[in-house]
Amino acid sequence: MSEILKRSITGALYIIIIVSTAFLSHYLLLLFFTIVGFICLKEFQTLLRFRNIISYVSLVVLLYYFNFTEVYLPLLITYMAMTLVVKLFLLKDLYTLNDIPIFDGRKHLLTLFYIVPSIIFLTMIPVYKENYEYVLVGTFVLIWTNDSFAYLVGKNFGKNKLFERISPKKTIEGFFGGAIASVIVSYLIFIYIDLLSWWAWVMLAIIVSIFGTLGDLVQSKFKRKADVKDSGKIMPGHGGIFDRMDSMLFSSTFVFIFILLLDYVS
């Protein structure tokens, strides 16, 4: 079986599962993301050469708290702030030559405030307001559009490297190709799903294009540091679940914050 065919079949199954669970039942969606979260944590800890069961327990406990109880707003804001700090440090560390400074004695912070909250904020989107499962699926569609067109444009027209030291195959042309395609698709989503304004969908497209690409670069540096090609082998043609989810995981916090801000400005 060719690599392209394997990628297509695996990718299609992945999409079908996410869309199905999002619309069938929030309980199924939580179960799916719990499994995804466990696999991502295992793959991520393998990259870090680190083991910590606390992160798995934290994922289950916090998923329950943020999805089934009345959330204490100051706690949510504090949790988001700590998550943002960790992610901003990861972005800063993209510019260090070899190591990721936050690795040194702080690996538990990466699992607790990178992978765990990224999964949690994803699960909070569809229950934030009625019919917001469309926002979750729409965000995934924008991520997939960005990734696909960034690859196609970069492969066929890319000449200028985006961040050659971390990811030699990514190009500036590919980045803008993915971003423009995402913006176009975001407007099409607005036409068929009258849930957010057109500018809100466009902003979501810009957010996932920028932070999804940065998340991909952060993932590439983790793998470069660990000296591996993929984070795992569970998805034929794609590598690990963490490889497939890297853009969405990094973007999720920023997407959820934007959704909260939409209420504030309206």
Q: What is the mean pLDDT of each run of 10 residues along the chain (266 residues)?
A: 60 80 90 93 87 91 91 88 90 70 64 90 90 92 90 87 83 94 95 90 96 91 80 67 87 94 79
Cβ–Cβ contacts within 10 Å for residue 88, how many? 10
- Residue 146 burial (C-beta neighbours within 10 Å; 0-12, 13-18, 19+): buried
What pLDDT, on a 0 to 100 scale, did the predictor assign at position 105?
57
Spatial separation of the C-alpha atoms in residues 123 and 190, rounded to whole Å: 22
What pLDDT, on a 0 to 100 scale, did the predictor assign at position 156?
87
- Residue 260 burial (C-beta neighbours within 10 Å; 0-12, 13-18, 19+): middle
What pLDDT, on a 0 to 100 scale, did the predictor assign at position 98?
57
Cβ–Cβ contacts within 10 Å for residue 264, how many? 6
Cβ–Cβ contacts within 10 Å for residue 64, how many? 11
Number of domains in the chain: 1
What pLDDT, on a 0 to 100 scale, did the predictor assign at position 70?
86
What pLDDT, on a 0 to 100 scale, did the predictor assign at position 119?
94
Q: Are 240 and 233 in contact (CB under 8 A)?
A: yes
DSSP bridge partners of 10 = none
Helices 241-265 and 116-128 cross at an angle (nearest 10°) of 50
Spatial separation of the C-alpha atoms in residues 129 and 240, rounded to whole Å: 32
Spatial separation of the C-alpha atoms in residues 118 and 58, rounded to whole Å: 13
Helices 172-192 and 198-226 cross at an angle (nearest 10°) of 140
Helices 241-265 and 73-93 cross at an angle (nearest 10°) of 130
What pLDDT, on a 0 to 100 scale, did the predictor assign at position 180?
96
Task: Residue count of the chain, please give it.
Answer: 266
- Supply the Cα-derived Rg of the chain in whole angstroms: 18
What pLDDT, on a 0 to 100 scale, did the predictor assign at position 177?
94
What pLDDT, on a 0 to 100 scale, did the predictor assign at position 108?
77
Q: Are 143 and 15 in contact (CB under 8 A)?
A: no
pTM, entire model = 0.90
Choose among 107, 104, 133, 137: nearest CA to 14.
137
Q: What is the DSSP letter of 164?
A: T
Q: Are 201 and 189 in contact (CB under 8 A)?
A: yes
Choose among 87, 107, 92, 113: nearest CA to 47.
107
Spatial separation of the C-alpha atoms in residues 202 and 207, rounded to whole Å: 9
What pLDDT, on a 0 to 100 scale, did the predictor assign at position 72?
83
The residue range of the domain holding 37 is 3-265
Q: Find how far residue 174's CA is from the centre of its chain.
A: 19
What pLDDT, on a 0 to 100 scale, did the predictor assign at position 104?
53
What pLDDT, on a 0 to 100 scale, did the predictor assign at position 238?
59
- Give residue for tokens 């000296």: 227
What pLDDT, on a 0 to 100 scale, did the predictor assign at position 11?
65
